[in-house]
Structure 1
Amino acid sequence: MRGVFVDANGSLADIFERQNKAGDPPVRVNRDADIKAEQMPGLLDGAEIVIIDHTPLPTDVARRCTGLKHVVFLGTGARSYMNPEELGELGIEVHLIKGYGDTAVAECTIALMWAAARGIAQMDREMRAGNWLREDGMQLTGKTLGLIGFGGIAAEVARIALGSGMKVMAWNRSPKNFAGVEFVALEKLLAESDVVSLHLLLNDETRGLVTAKHIAAMKPGVILVNTARAAMVDEAAMIAALKSGHIRHAGLDVFNTEPLPADHPLTKLPNVTLSAHSAFRTPEASENLIAAAWQHCRRIAKA
């Protein structure tokens, strides 16, 4: 059984090759992170396993990947790049990797929250332009952080936020318990949170979950942080709320179009802090990610 890591950037390729052990299934590493979906059939050349970091795999392209039986997706957000159900009908199983970057994403969430609260990015931009911008920030100690979704990442966010003196409440689709966190209805969370942060997987149930009505129900002057998936939020309603000031500031690591176009409305708003879908990018998380990918390959080869 053969595999191909089709879109490895330099650092992931190095880690992948270093973690290769004797007896592992043969996996060829393609050190070109900018391939197009249409190149996939030729790059796989009949391989049964494909490891994908960020390249889309449309169903019509997968149909032309002769021999392909397994997709090892480096993360949890495969639905942003492919349709797992349609691939399943073709006999292709999609394998996800969870938990590898919980701490990394949580720390980025906290960083975006603090940057938003104090206007760090805006002051930086203004000072580089020769302007001495000084505005009051939001003191977060004693404020309420509302977490929409409560998996491993949210648990790490809660741990850090509780340690910094914040109150934490959460809404989850299934019952959860976590020391110090109050689990509440979504309506209560939206109405009472000074900061709202998203931590759900994207699927048919969560796509478009945060509607214009939900945004309007948020506390005036709220900070919104999204390190999950952009498609869960009504982007037009969010932008309107940012322009009106109903949302004080948004810290965003994920976008409907990536890379984010330079002329996108979000790039024109002063009360938005942007990061390039990089919340998970730390050496520690990358090591965990690739180790899990190898575990998938080894298990598949032995099946």
Structure 2
Amino acid sequence: MKDENEMAREEHQLRALFADCTEELALVLREKNLRVPDAVTINYGSPNERELITLCHGIDVLFVEHTVVTRAVLDACPSLRAIIFMGTGAGTYIDLADAARCGVQVLTTPGYGDRAVAEHAFALMFAAARRVAVMDRQIRAGEWLPTGGLQLAGEKIAIIGLGGIGATMAHMASSIGMKVAGWSRTPREEPWFVGNIDLALNGASVVSVHLSLTDETRGILDARRLRLPAKGYILVNTARAALVDEEALLRGLVDGTIGHAALDVFPDEPLASGNPYARQENATLTAHAAYMTSAAYEELWRRTLLAFERVKTESAQQ
């Protein structure tokens, strides 16, 4: 027979739901044979609000990778104690004030994809500098138009945001001989740190954005700042679209202020038919995939389970 302590542990075992496992992450879980605790149920796909409410019935902890958790979900799922957002920038998907009102703790899993995202940003920078995607489209259309590009060694790159991803990007850019000027809201003990964002941007041939989206950073690259780098510069954004004034960005692509935009993030995803970026020849676009590598997914799952263990420990101590 089970003793009282064992029965109490079972009674208080937290149940978790992974609400929106993607095909890519599911493949990594299978191929790497990663551990899935008995207390965790995995839902494959992207549930809508009504489906999420049904799935969350009786669930204590919710893992979310890309699904918006609305106020209606929080109100309809009183058993929820915590949401583990599988990434950073949880506020984009979860109203943190609503979560706090409902007594739901929100945790994130920062750092899991620093190298993956930085490498993707690096790839976008090279693709833009040498017009790789442009020539690829031309060749597929039956045109043979060899086109020159920008040699990056010796050029200035402004890195906006020097957290884990931005710092990795800075090291990579420095390693190929670029002149790095990095800015972040928190001073850094790095040789490339510049305390004034305008000075960091001034005259740059490449601008790579790596900030978290907050009320303070929303629209930080406004129309004025988008005109500070060198004419015809490359803008890379693998962070959040709302960090950049979209109207000013599109104007800059048309008038030549911005020579090329290499974007992995957009205000609305997926892009609707007729989206203006898709009409711009001087834009290279990827489908919010910068973090998607097998190694990053494996680390993401490890950090998600660590966050779950933290929630369980805190719950047991209450």
TM range (shorter): over 0.9
- Between the aligned partners of 2:126 and 2:91, the Cα distance in structure 1 is 30
> CA RMSD for the aligned pairs?
1.4
Per the TM alignment, residue 89 of structure 1 is displaced from its structure 2 partner at its CA by 1.3
- Structure 2 CA distance, aligned partners of 1:221 and 1:293? 41
Say which SS state the counterpart of residue 310 (structure 2) adopts: helix
Please state whether the residue corresponding to 2:76 is helix, strand or coil. Answer: coil
Structure-to-structure mapping, 1:108-147, within 5 angstroms: 108-147=120-159
Taking the aligned partners of 1:69 and 1:40, their CA distance within structure 2 comes to 16
SS at match of 1:68: coil
Aligned with residue 41 of structure 2, among 25, 28, 39: 28
1:281 to 287, 292, 301: 292
Distance 2:34 2:78 in 1: 28
The CA distance in 1 between the partners of 2:253 and 2:267, in whole Å, is 17
Find the counterpart in structure 2 of residue 19 from structure 1: 34
Matched, 1:299 2:310: yes
2:233 corresponds to 1:222: yes
SS at structure 2 position matched to 1:297 = helix
1:15 Cα deviation (Å)?
Answer: 4.6
From 23, 44, 49, the equivalent of 1:37 is: 49
Q: How much has 1:20 moved relative to structure 2?
A: 2.6
Find the residue that maps to 1:170 and give its secondary structure.
strand
User: Which of these two proteins has the greater Rg computed from alpha carbons?
Assistant: 2
1:271 equivalent in alignment to 2:282: yes
The structure-2 alpha-carbon separation of the partners of 1:274 and 1:68, relative to structure 1 and needing over 3 Å to count, comes to same
Q: Which SS does the other structure have where 2:262 is aligned? A: strand
Q: 1:200 aligns with which of 201, 207, 211?
A: 211
Matched AA of 1:84: L
Higher relative contact order (CA 8 A, sep 6+): 1
TM-score by structure 2 length? Answer: 0.91
CA drift of 1:262 comes to 2.7
Superposition map of 1:1-303 within 5 A: 1-13=14-26, 15-16=28-29, 18-20=33-35, 24=37, 26-31=39-44, 33-178=45-190, 180-303=191-314
CA contact (8 A) 1:177 1:183 kept: no
Shift of 1:257: 0.4
- 1:136-176 Cα offsets, whole Å, 9 max, x none, are 20111100110111001011111111111111011111110
Stretches (4+) displaced over 4 A: 14-17
Unpaired runs of 5+ in structure 2?
A: 1-13
Percent identity for Structure 1 against Structure 2 = 39
Preserved contact between residue 101 and residue 280 of structure 1 (Cα < 8 Å): yes
Does the CA contact (< 8 Å) of 1:145 and 1:195 recur in 2?
yes
CA distance in 2, matches of 1:11, 1:120: 26
Query: How far did residue 25 of structure 1 move?
Result: 6.0
- Offset, 1:182: 4.0
- Note the C-alpha offset of 1:134: 2.1
How far does residue 184 in structure 1 lie from its aligned partner after superposition? 4.0
Residue 193 of structure 1 aligns to which amino acid in structure 2?
A: A
CA positional deviation for 1:249:
0.3
Distance (Å, rounded) in 2 between the aligned partners of 1:254 and 1:144? 23
| Residues 219-243 of structure 1 deviation map (CA, whole Å, 9 limit, x = unaligned) | 2111100000001111111001001
Q: Is the 8 A contact 1:142 1:165 kept in 2?
A: yes
Contact 1:25 1:301 in 2 (8 A): no
Contact 1:99 1:152 in 2 (8 A): yes
The separation in 1 between residues aligned to 2:53 and 2:114, in whole angstroms, is 33
Question: Which consecutive unaligned segments of at least 5 residues does structure 1 have?
Answer: none
TM-score (norm 1): 0.95
Looking at structure 2, the residues matched to 296 and 205 of structure 1 have their Cα atoms a distance apart, in angstroms, of 27
